[in-house]
A and B are shown apart, each in its own frame.
Chain A
Amino acid sequence: AQTVTQSQPEMSVQEAETVTLSCTYDTSESDYYLFWYKQPPSRQMILVIRQEAYKQQNATENRFSVNFQKAAKSFSLKISDSQLGDAAMYFCAYRTRRFQGAQKLVFGQGTRLTINP
């Protein structure tokens, strides 16, 4: 079974600085998706970024980018120019690309990110 581990329960960063959130995962599969979701105090789960394992190029979405290291099974999220609105719980998630159960997301434990003004 796949597992996702986020080893940083909490992180903090000064506004406008850069922060990196870590995520590692364990799988025997070669084809899968990885995601970062954001959960602000409003409780809504918001997709931040996603990466397809067969793509070598790291995904980017504006100030958010990932460092995907497939061999090391590592998928970190970098947030540049941190803003107060980035404060939230961040969840790393894995999903197989196999046909069956393809949308069964496996989540990490989450990292609570605090932005200091």
Chain B
Amino acid sequence: DTAVSQTPKYLVTQMGNDKSIKCEQNLGHDTMYWYKQDSKKFLKIMFSYNNKELIINETVPNRFSPKSPDKAHLNLHINSLELGDSAVYFCASSQDFTGRNSPLHFGNGTRLTVT
């Protein structure tokens, strides 16, 4: 059973389009995250939600909008896609946002290519 699952695995789209990436975790965790890995493999946090409430919002263009319908799901919607949005997007979860007893569990990533 996959603990943190993301769909789709690959996403190719044209500039200007709107797309969504979905994430689900079956670990019973309260906290979920989106991380972005750029072409140089550098990983950086974008957002974090704890029990459907936004707790971390890094400096990310407002074209990126996370949505958490329940604590097991955290989706990422991207409007007006740009070439620079091409990257691998990782979803992750943890038991709680203090993290004292729970490391992050990552999904397998979604490779987004904007042409």
Contacts and interface: CB of A to CB of B under 8 A. Distances in A.
Interface stretch (A19-27, A66-74, A95-103): A95-103
Interface centre among B43, B45, B90, B92, by most chain A C-beta atoms within 10 angstroms, is B43
Interface in B25-41: 31, 33, 35, 40-41
B108 A43 contact: yes
A39 B94 CA distance: 18
Interface in B87-115: 88, 90, 92, 94, 97-100, 103-104, 106-109, 111
Contacts of A33: 99
A109 B42 CA distance: 5
Given A43-B108, A45-B90, A105 B41 contact: no
Interface residues of A, number: 23
Nearest to A109: B42
Nearest to A42: B108
Contacts of A95: 99
B56 A104 contact: yes
A82 B46 CA distance: 34
Interface of A is mostly: loop
The interface residues of chain B, by DSSP majority, are classed as strand
A103 B103 CA distance: 8
Contact of B43 (A47, A97, A102, A107): A107
A35 interface: yes
A51 to B, nearest CB: 12
Given A44-B109, A45-B90, A105 B40 contact: no
A109 to B, nearest CB: 6
Contacts of B92: 45
Contacts of B77: none
A103 B109 contact: no
Contacts of B68: none
A77 interface: no
Interface of B: 31, 33, 35, 40-45, 48, 55-56, 88, 90, 92, 94, 97-100, 103-104, 106-109, 111
